[in-house]
Amino acid sequence: MAEMNDAAKTLLEGKTFWHLATANADGSPQVSPVWAGSRDGKIVVNTAIGRVKDKNMRREPRVALSAIGDNPYEPTMVRGRVAEIVEGDQAEKDIDDLSEKYTGNTPYPWRSEGERRVTFLIEPTS
């Protein structure tokens, strides 16, 4: 596991939106804006089970994330691999924690009826 630089750590502590790049089944790129955090040196990303990024990361664990802080000419990029997939109560708690961080609201206010969440812990590789 590569150590994240200070810029990435700082952006993960704040309310910065990240862009998560995954690979579709045909190899084409797919990019989604996501809320992100960190836990134990890994990047935390949460989504609903069944969404494209969920399917893509389960099939192909290599991902990339990028974010822009105060200076748009100094983007922060992280390449990594999905190290752990978490479902159940912890994944539900993770989306509530991210919602609190980004919107000040908990529980997550846009949960659809019957929706189940999944958390991907991404280990930085570069």
pLDDT digits (tens, 9 = 90+) for 45-85: 999 999 999 999 999 999 999 999 999 999 999 999 999 99
Chain-centroid distance of CA 30 in Å reads 14
* Placement of tokens 């974010």 in the chain: 67
Show Cβ contacts of residue 116 under 8 Å, excluding neighbours closer than 6 positions: 48, 49, 87, 91
Q: What is the mean pLDDT of the chain?
A: 96
26-45 tens-digit pLDDT: 999 999 999 999 999 999 99
Q: What is the pLDDT of residue 12?
A: 97
Distance CA 23, CA 57 (A): 8
The CA-atom distances, in angstroms, between 71 and each of 11, 78, 82, 101, 109 are 12, 17, 28, 22, 31
Q: What is the pLDDT of residue 2?
A: 84
The pLDDT of residue 1 is above 80: no
DSSP code per residue over 86-98: EETHHHHHHHHHH
* Spatial contact of 25 and 60, defined as CB atoms under 8 Å apart: no
Q: What is the pLDDT of residue 76?
A: 96
Provide the whole-model pTM. Answer: 0.95
